[in-house]
Structure 1
Amino acid sequence: MQLSDIEIKRLMIDTAEMAAKKALIEVGQLKPYLTLKEAQRIHGEYTVNRWINEGLLKPIKDGARNCKVRIDRIQLDAVAATSNRASWYKHNMTE
């Protein structure tokens, strides 16, 4: 499969952005995790919940009951940067 120049450029930009965020996390300038509410504010409540239900995002809960749910920032950005329509179709149309 051949990628177009536009697809290659987009892939390179996405890779550079992810590497920059990872570097900022490693030097302590960016939080490695977002709360579920923060993630939902950025990408939309429905979208984040769908990604969790489809298994694309793995929420982290450190305790029981009222504990905040955390989302790995890099994982969230990776899911948001990729097309996930295929996973939605597979999840919703095969049930």
Structure 2
Amino acid sequence: MKSMKNILVFFMILVLFTFFNECGVKSNSEKQPTSTSKSQSTTRTIIDMDGNTINIPEKVSKAGCTIGAINQMVLMLGDPYWNVLKK
């Protein structure tokens, strides 16, 4: 059981790094100067199953990085993760 906890901690740390990389969190030295012009705001286009097109501003869609990181953690760990949570 102790080794299972170590594996879980390892994957949690891995997911944190994945989260920061996915969401574009950069150190101060890598940050680009921010501009106030709205012409540079980007949108993400999503086409749902009915063929409708949805445009989401990039700032809103970055909130989904947390969901993506959690989903990736669950996919990586698979069944052992849920067995530990059930106990």
TM-score > 0.5 by shorter chain: no
TM bucket normalised to smaller: 0.3 to 0.5
- Of structures 1 and 2, the larger Rg is shown by 2
TM-score, structure 1 as length reference: 0.36
Q: TM-score, normalised by structure 2?
A: 0.39
